[in-house]
Structure 1
Amino acid sequence: MGIEEKIRKFLEEKNEYLPDSIIKEIAQKIEENGLEKKMNKLVELAIEEYNESIVDPHEACGIVAAQSIGEPGTQMTMRTFHYAGVAEINVTLGLPRLIEIVDARSEPSTPMMNVYLEGMYKVNKEKAKEIANKIEITRLIDVADVEAEISNMRVAVIPDKKAMERKGIKISEVIEALNKVSKVEIKEEGDKIFVVPEEESYRELRRIHEEVKSIKIKGLDGVKRAIIRREGDEYVIYTEGSNFEKVFEIEGVDKTRTTTNDIHAIYRVLGVEAARNAIINEAYSTLQEQGLNVDIRHIMLVADIMTSDGTIRPIGRQGVSGEKGSVIARAAFEITVDHLLRASRRGEVDELKGVAENIIVGQPIRLGTGSVELAIDIKKMSEVKK
């Protein structure tokens, strides 16, 4: 009999319960450390700890979670910080970031990615630089001077060889990018490339000049900068801007560890469970960075509510709070008159099951985790007794 089976049998004898994940973890640790003789004692300790961690019946865990996150939130700063150790990247932290997370904003104000590498790319700086160049967007203006020659009615592109070498760009890639410009002819003369519009007009020349300057040569849309940092024995790329969908297509990127602070991008690429984990990690790390210790279970409850229907819903009148079944609770939250008028037109009935509506009408509130209502049919009960 394996250790896992022995633990399950022991729990059965004791008439106790532990979740599968905990049973598997205990079995693994016992096996790794050769603690078979102390198995019963370890399981008893695990049962004790697990039972202490469970929410008590009728505990108002929603209110406790709201207070436990909200109160430390009043001590958070409103500034945009520099990312630790990377002066070039700005990232929103503190209260503005926490508000972004719970509001489920479609895009963070300072999107960024932590791109982890695999194989030789994570230990070789030159190889890591190759990936950074593929991620960071490079426009023509970054590697060449672009001038409008009004007298000749053409746009001159003068490549900067040092910048091109630094970015790992060849002249053929520049010409390939220029060929995408419509209604022009491309001519090479020595070190210069000329873009000649088909229509000779100042207006057309100005349009082409602006288009040529901003033309993309390589990189991912949305990623303004990619910075390589050494962490332990590997290189990691930090980006200003995010393109989570496309970064996985680049060879050498570790798909199992690469993350972004864009929760909606995680939801689109990896699904709702990953998005839930991202909400927990982002909110928890935002509070931790400010030196605020909040029990992670409060944040887990918020993340569960936000993702309970398989999508990401904000906490607010456009999301969770606005979806309350009670007319009075919705009216108490915001835009009171509109809610009452809409409800009266529809002929809605308020069941008075929540907290806010019962307080408003002066009734005792029904509150707490695990509280249930039982309706007993007396006639059927008497039949059973007979």
Structure 2
Amino acid sequence: MTDYDVSTDIEVLVEDTDLPRRLKDEVYSTLEDRDATLEEVEDIVQGVEAEYLDTRVDPLDPVGTVSAQSIGEPGTQMTMNTFHYAGVAEIDVTQGLPRLIELVDARKEPDTPMMTVHLEDEFAENRERAHEVVWNIEATKILQLGDVSTNVADMQVRVSLNEDTLLERWPTVDDPIEIAEEIADTIESKLGVETRRQELIIAFGPEEPSYRDLLQLVEDLSDIVFKGIEDISRVVIRKEETDEGEEFVLYTEGSDFGTVLGIEGVDASRTSCNNIHEIYRNLGVEAAREAIIEETMNTLEEQGLDDVNIRHLMLVADIMTNEGTIESIGRHGISGSKDSVLARAAFEVTVNHLLDAAIHGEVDALDGVTENVIVGKPIKLGTGDVNLRMSARSSESAD
């Protein structure tokens, strides 16, 4: 048997199949690199086509009901606990059933927002450069920079800055005095007070002697963010093996996805966030759809429930993002906006839905699964959508 030249006629074989374009291109590029005979190429192409056709959904298959069962049944096996984030013992992230509910409810803010920040070039390889990114992300407050004390006799707040900490958190500045001046300027602009600085000591007080105002200044001072992002309280840096090789990866408590993407050294193409609304605002609805699929799959896999078909999760994500925004699956979202009165009433707040429908004179066409089950009619899916008729013929016509 002579060798078959794949590069000449393989395209014809692939194009004759019912595969989608992306799969055709993948099959073609894979076979092009192989030294295969004509019979082998035909067998492979036919095998791929058969597998593809076998995985397609049959007409009138109730995909919504099957998906609900596929996700709902394993959901009963999920724990109600909050686990540590996989591989990062220092950061707690909501997992299990609470996380799944967060996702399908499309909560505006997750209980434990966090980000996985990947770095690029020398920032990913050099720990010192990676820490530069850390200090640009992590919120730096006054208690991390030095000691704060009050002098009631002089009605003064005194801040003693730590030189080593200043140089660590401002690695691109060599002079701690310059950093202290910047901190003093920030205090003046944020608190509206006049500061006096001596080396690394900053002092200020209320305009009028008042113990209450003095304590209020201390409280307000502790809330000022001198560097970093206000919503990110902590950053953990870890060296990990990724698709790009061994590199430093940052994990954050809190999230501000849009701001982080603009920081020097951050690889925006790989950085992710567990807040689907932030992804939607910054990257659009398609990215939000991908995030919903990935977050739900990761949540199930973390619980050992990785046998859920990803296409069922894709269907949920498609429904949630179908209108170009993120809608929850609940009475304030998809389930509450169904055309069918009975389907809405079957989900939650039954009496309210029935009363509203009666007041507005709504009519239920009984097109969906839920409403037909309620009234005891066969659903219009699968065999329920097929009508068999027998034509009555006279004996003469039968002859």
TM-score under structure 1 normalisation? 0.90
Alignment of 1:284-299 (within 5 A): 284-292=297-305, 293-299=307-313
In the TM superposition, what is the alpha-carbon distance from 1:190 to its structure 2 partner?
4.2
Residue 255 of structure 2 is aligned to residue 254 of structure 1 = no
In the TM superposition, what is the alpha-carbon distance from 1:5 to its structure 2 partner?
10
- Structure scoring higher RCO (CA < 8 A, sep ≥ 6) equals 1
In the TM superposition, what is the alpha-carbon distance from 1:369 to its structure 2 partner?
11
Equivalent position of 1:376 in the other structure: none
Moved more, 96-105 or 201-210: 201-210
Equivalent position of 1:185 in the other structure: 194
Equivalent position of 1:380 in the other structure: none
In the TM superposition, what is the alpha-carbon distance from 1:36 to its structure 2 partner?
8.1
CA displacement, residues 324-353 of structure 1 (integer Å, 9 cap, x when unaligned): 101122112221121111111111111111
Moved more, 173-182 or 267-276: 173-182
Equivalent position of 2:22 in the other structure: 21
Q: Label 1:308 to 1:234 Cα distance change in 2 as closer, same or farther (>3 A).
A: same
Equivalent position of 1:309 in the other structure: 323
Moved more, 161-170 or 301-310: 161-170
Contact 2:149 2:157 in 1 (8 A): yes
1:135 counterpart (116, 134, 137): 137
Q: Following the alignment from structure 2 to structure 1, what is the Cα–Cα distance between the partners of residues 182 and 384?
A: 64
Q: Following the alignment from structure 1 to structure 2, what is the Cα–Cα distance between the partners of residues 361 and 278?
A: 38
Letter in 1 for 2:284: G
Alignment of 1:334-345 (within 5 A): 334-345=348-359
Equivalent position of 1:226 in the other structure: 235
1:241 counterpart (254, 268, 274): 254
In the TM superposition, what is the alpha-carbon distance from 1:158 to its structure 2 partner?
0.9
Contact 1:141 1:214 in 2 (8 A): no
How many residue pairs end up in the alignment? Answer: 370
In the TM superposition, what is the alpha-carbon distance from 1:164 to its structure 2 partner?
2.8
Letter in 1 for 2:98: P
Equivalent position of 2:225 in the other structure: 216
Equivalent position of 2:277 in the other structure: 264
2:93 counterpart (91, 94, 103): 91
Q: Label 1:104 to 1:36 Cα distance change in 2 as closer, same or farther (>3 A).
A: farther
In the TM superposition, what is the alpha-carbon distance from 1:368 to its structure 2 partner?
5.0
Q: Following the alignment from structure 1 to structure 2, what is the Cα–Cα distance between the partners of residues 213 and 8?
A: 67
Contact 1:228 1:237 in 2 (8 A): yes
Contact 2:6 2:36 in 1 (8 A): no
Q: Following the alignment from structure 2 to structure 1, what is the Cα–Cα distance between the partners of residues 78 and 341?
A: 34
Residue 19 of structure 2 is aligned to residue 10 of structure 1 = no
Moved more, 161-170 or 358-367: 161-170
Listed as ranges, the gaps of 5+ residues in structure 2 are 172-178, 388-399
In the TM superposition, what is the alpha-carbon distance from 1:34 to its structure 2 partner?
5.2
C-alpha RMSD of the superposition = 2.4
Q: Label 1:178 to 1:369 Cα distance change in 2 as closer, same or farther (>3 A).
A: farther
Contact 2:99 2:299 in 1 (8 A): yes
Listed as ranges, the gaps of 5+ residues in structure 1 are 374-386
Q: Label 1:255 to 1:239 Cα distance change in 2 as closer, same or farther (>3 A).
A: same
Letter in 1 for 2:29: Q
Contact 1:108 1:262 in 2 (8 A): yes
In the TM superposition, what is the alpha-carbon distance from 1:289 to its structure 2 partner?
0.8
Q: Label 1:345 to 1:191 Cα distance change in 2 as closer, same or farther (>3 A).
A: same
Contact 1:57 1:371 in 2 (8 A): no
Moved more, 163-172 or 199-208: 163-172
Contact 2:232 2:256 in 1 (8 A): yes
Alignment of 1:1-386 (within 5 A): 9-10=12-13, 13=16, 16-33=17-34, 38-168=40-170, 170-232=179-241, 233-292=246-305, 293-367=307-381
Letter in 2 for 1:244: F
CA displacement, residues 125-179 of structure 1 (integer Å, 9 cap, x when unaligned): 1100110111111111211211222211121111123333443373233223213
Moved more, 250-259 or 162-171: 162-171
Contact 1:61 1:368 in 2 (8 A): no
CA displacement, residues 193-233 of structure 1 (integer Å, 9 cap, x when unaligned): 10233333223222211111221111112111111111121
Letter in 2 for 1:111: P
Equivalent position of 1:384 in the other structure: none
